[in-house]
Amino acid sequence: MTRICILGGGFGGLYTALELARLPWTEQPEIVLIDRSDRFLFTPLLYELVTGELQTWEIAPPFLELLAGTNIQFLQGNVTGVDIATRCIHLTVSDSPASLNFDRLVLSIGGETSMNLVPGAAEYAIPFRTLADVARLESKLQQLEKSDREKIRVAIAGAGASGVELACKIADRLKSRGRVRLIERDSVILANSPPANRVAAERALITRGIWTDLSTSVSQVMESEITLDYSSGSDTLPVDMMMWMVGNSISKLAHSLDLPHNQRNGRVIVESTLQVKGYPEIYAIGDIAECYDADGVLVPATAQVAYQQSQYCARNIWISLTQSYPLVPFRYLALGEFMSLGTDNASLAFLNKFGLEGLPAIFFRRFAYLLRMPTFQHQLKVGFNWLSRPVLELVKKQ
């Protein structure tokens, strides 16, 4: 039986597996999804955990629950290496070594936050990418909220979309006690975002009293201080908590693979068909892949890109195993950008042209993300919870 192995259960990996399971196979292959975590993480909604707007089960359902009723096998393990020549994956499962051969391999290994960019960041700063990061942030916030501090000083490095969203959520949680500072090396916030979202975000930051240091970089992080470098000099400021939202690096596993890669950033080079250059049986999508689409455009490393790549990846694997016609080159459609700007505001830029803000944006953002949930069953559970929650809260107040 043909075996398709998928490394990484993020947007690229999980959605590729689900799409493969839906395709009309004449002979069903064995589909194996491998991840070191037992849960899928819907990262665009991770910020809502900070303010308690959503619960963990809504955005991080277990893989076994999502894959129930499919022919997809889930294997929780830590991949230690891949032997390209013998088509063999080496991994550790429940502390025991194991190996798995493959006929087709999908590399969907997400990136990691670069914590070694400045001295002290790895020791004292908190990234925001995983449930473990959320737990660490929650523990620190609870500790600070219970303290007798009049003001809670939070610094956030990076004013991209993730930094801005997190800043607004933390400011809304801490309210008048919060002193949130957003630090950005560029001369503007959201340098890669549509203008409509940038304008809405600037208003949201001002409304919440979030201080923004532009053209500024963090040069050192200490336990209760940070050093900032400006064009005119440097300054050391006291902080109670430092969040690190800058830098994206490829995992150690990705670096260890003997595949063609970009020497500067370590990303694996793929053709427009999402096949690794020179290795037609191996596909790479998401953060790990350096991908130029059919129009020759370098695509960004975002959840939206990974989701779209998963559809092409699954289809091309199916074609390569069952059909005689050429594979389909990936074409990326930039649908736009959603941003949550606190607990009572959001913005969206559709096709990077049309902007929307406020309650309509909150609704469309939630609805769009609900439709992107991995399975219909999970959509129903989450959707019902979202609809019933306001009613239950109203009943409690009466």
Residue 233's identity, in one-letter code, is G
Average of per-residue pLDDT values in the chain: 93
Q: pLDDT per residue over 272-314, tens digit each?
A: 999 999 999 999 999 999 998 888 889 988 889 999 999 999 9
Residue 299's identity, in one-letter code, is V
Give CA–CA dist 114/117, Å, rounded: 6
Nearest to 314 by CA among 324, 325, 328, 299: 328
**pTM for this model (two decimals):** 0.92
Which domains, and CATH codes, for the chain? 3-111+250-322 (3.50.50.60), 113-247 (3.50.50.60), 336-397 (no CATH)
Q: pLDDT per residue over 358-398, tens digit each?
A: 999 999 999 999 999 999 999 999 999 998 877 666 666 66
* Contact yes or no for 201/341 (Cβ under 8 A): yes
Give CA–CA dist 314/334, Å, rounded: 20
Structure confidence at residue 220 (pLDDT): 96
Instruction: Report strand pairing: 78-83 vs 88-93.
Output: antiparallel
Residue 215's identity, in one-letter code, is S
Strand partners, 35: 76
Place of tokens 């839906």: 22
Residues contacting 190, CB < 8 A, separation 6+? 159, 160, 161, 164, 197, 198, 201
Residue 133's identity, in one-letter code, is D
Residues contacting 117, CB < 8 A, separation 6+? 246, 247
Give CA–CA dist 52/177, Å, rounded: 18
